[in-house]
Structure 1
Amino acid sequence: MERPSGPSSAPSPGPSTGPAPGPAVPLLIACALGIERFALRAGRAGAAGPVTVLRTGMGPKNAERAVARALGEGRNRDAAVIASGFCAGLVPGMNPGDLIVADETRDPDGSTPCTGTALLVDALARAVPGHTVHTGTLTGSDHVVRGQERAALRATGAVAVDMESAATLRSALSAGSRPVAAVRVVVDAPEHELVRIGTVRGGISAFRVLRAVLPAFHEWHRSLLLPRR
């Protein structure tokens, strides 16, 4: 926290009782679609450091390449990473606009535990009151999943599916130790399958929720003791 400076004639302060603050650690928010990036760029107030909203393109391969490239740049080398955007809910009773906070992401290449899940759940409850927040495994796919395939993924214990989160977090950790998280907004669910995002009420509801999550991301970012390499 910044402290007010004293008059110029004041004596120099004694030795610090704690570590000097280091450089602000960046936050990288990765999403696949232009509409997701538009929503996530809606607010920057309250950020603890530089924030980059990266559009990766659709699919795990695009996400992996884009995140590796972004973290190879000097300004993002130590960034905390959040995978975000829309997803498909797998649990009956989910509704468009519900939030998914992953405690792990998983795909055929393995699983990645997420950082600060409980903190994010609490922060989202404040940022987007009245919307249900689900936690659990966010599974990855290389294609849009519908119908019976969703039921099969639900049988593995996953609560939601998207195409980029698992690859995003795996790529982030391959570039060095850092906090990682995945927060998605349900755009369709077993009883609410959509044909195209943004053309029906469910898609609009999900978009509005995604626009509101930034304060929770900033709170997560501020609250973590970010590891330095």
Structure 2
Amino acid sequence: MPRPSRSSSRPRADPVPPSAPPREPLLVVCALAVEKTALRGGAAGSPAASVTLLRTGMGPRAAERAVADALRGDPALRGAAVLATGFCAGVAPGLLPGDVVVDERSESAAPLADALARHAHGRARVHTGRIAESDHVVRGAERLRLRTRGALAVDMESAAVRRAALADAPRPVAAVRVVVDTPEYELLRVATLRTGITAFRVLRSVFPAFLDWHRNHALPWR
């Protein structure tokens, strides 16, 4: 049984205006409008490189298609590092709404987790482990099956973003997800409103950690 480690609409990519001359590009990918709103709030005033936010729409097919189109169609994203983010469902025991999960396949996963913990300022716990892929919302017995296979969490887009990013060219790729529901707090229950607000605030607060990862661990790929 795994344990948390210690440690729709047409896709649209919006540049985040940098406050310093741009460096190597970073593409931050999410599925939902509410996730993009949180990310834009976190990006406000960030002393960053050239950062683009891309909302793909829900599901692996939409995510894979949107990322492939963006990387192949926008010269400004040539060589970009790619980070998939947004909300996820927790499947491992001990995860709580608002916890942050770093996919273990992420480039420089340990430094990324450390940066996330710093920027969360105690508002969220950070775990590193496997984020499973699904093409639908996972509930009940299906969560248990994923748990027994070693997953900490599950979402619909992170793996698809990774496939599309690496199919285009070798590049740094990471996935960071904020837990919005757990077996005890499943989606569509009244309590999800509260947990959704918690996850939104955490996602907004950790955006600077994405920039730390980009600055410190993506640049050697130039």
Q: Which structure: greater helix fraction?
A: 2
Return the alpha-carbon distance in structure 2 between the equivalents of residues 181 and 198 of structure 1. Answer: 30
Q: How does 1:120-139 map to 2 (within 5 A)?
A: 120-130=112-122, 131-139=124-132
Letter in 2 for 1:96: P
Provide TM-score, normalisation by structure 2: 0.85
Larger Rg belongs to:
1
Q: CA deviation at 1:24?
A: 1.6
Q: CA deviation at 1:199?
A: 5.7
Return the alpha-carbon distance in structure 2 between the equivalents of residues 97 and 65 of structure 1. Answer: 29
Return the alpha-carbon distance in structure 2 between the equivalents of residues 63 and 226 of structure 1. Answer: 27
Quote the residue 2:4 is aligned against: none
Q: 1:47 to 1:69 in 2, by over 3 A?
A: farther
Return the alpha-carbon distance in structure 2 between the equivalents of residues 170 and 197 of structure 1. Answer: 35
Return the alpha-carbon distance in structure 1 between the equivalents of residues 117 and 206 of structure 2. Answer: 10
Quote the residue 1:227 is aligned against: 221
Aligned match of 1:178 in 171, 177, 190?
A: 171
Q: CA deviation at 1:146?
A: 0.4
Range with bigger deviation, 166-175 or 188-197: 188-197
- Are 1:198 and 1:204, in contact at CA under 8 Å, matched by a contact in 2? no
Q: Is it true that 1:216 corresponds to 2:217 in the alignment?
A: no
Q: CA deviation at 1:193?
A: 1.1
- Are 2:180 and 2:192, in contact at CA under 8 Å, matched by a contact in 1? no
- Are 1:197 and 1:203, in contact at CA under 8 Å, matched by a contact in 2? no
Deviations 1:126-162 (A, max 9, x none): 1002211111011100111000000001111010000
Quote the residue 2:24 is aligned against: 25
Q: RMSD value over aligned CA atoms? A: 1.8
Return the alpha-carbon distance in structure 2 between the equivalents of residues 218 and 25 of structure 1. Answer: 11
Return the alpha-carbon distance in structure 1 between the equivalents of residues 85 and 191 of structure 2. Answer: 17
Quote the residue 1:8 is aligned against: none
Deviations 1:164-196 (A, max 9, x none): 000001100111011000000000012111217
- Are 1:83 and 1:183, in contact at CA under 8 Å, matched by a contact in 2? yes
Q: Partner of 1:42: helix, strand, or coil?
A: helix
Quote the residue 2:90 is aligned against: 89
Quote the residue 1:149 is aligned against: 142
Quote the residue 2:19 is aligned against: none
Letter in 2 for 1:119: P
Provide TM-score, normalisation by structure 1: 0.82
Q: CA deviation at 1:46?
A: 4.0
- Are 1:90 and 1:153, in contact at CA under 8 Å, matched by a contact in 2? yes
Q: Is it true that 1:206 corresponds to 2:205 in the alignment?
A: no
Q: Partner of 2:127: helix, strand, or coil?
A: strand
Letter in 2 for 1:122: D
Q: 1:197 to 1:214 in 2, by over 3 A?
A: farther
Q: 1:77 to 1:160 in 2, by over 3 A?
A: same
- Are 2:185 and 2:192, in contact at CA under 8 Å, matched by a contact in 1? no
Percent identity, please: 59
Give the count of matched residue pairs. 198
Mark the runs of 5 or more structure 2 residues left unpaired by the alignment.
1-21
Deviations 1:49-99 (A, max 9, x none): 211110000000000000001111100111100000000001122111000
Deviations 1:112-131 (A, max 9, x none): xx201111111111100221
Quote the residue 2:64 is aligned against: 64
Q: 1:27 to 1:47 in 2, by over 3 A?
A: farther
Q: CA deviation at 1:213?
A: 1.2
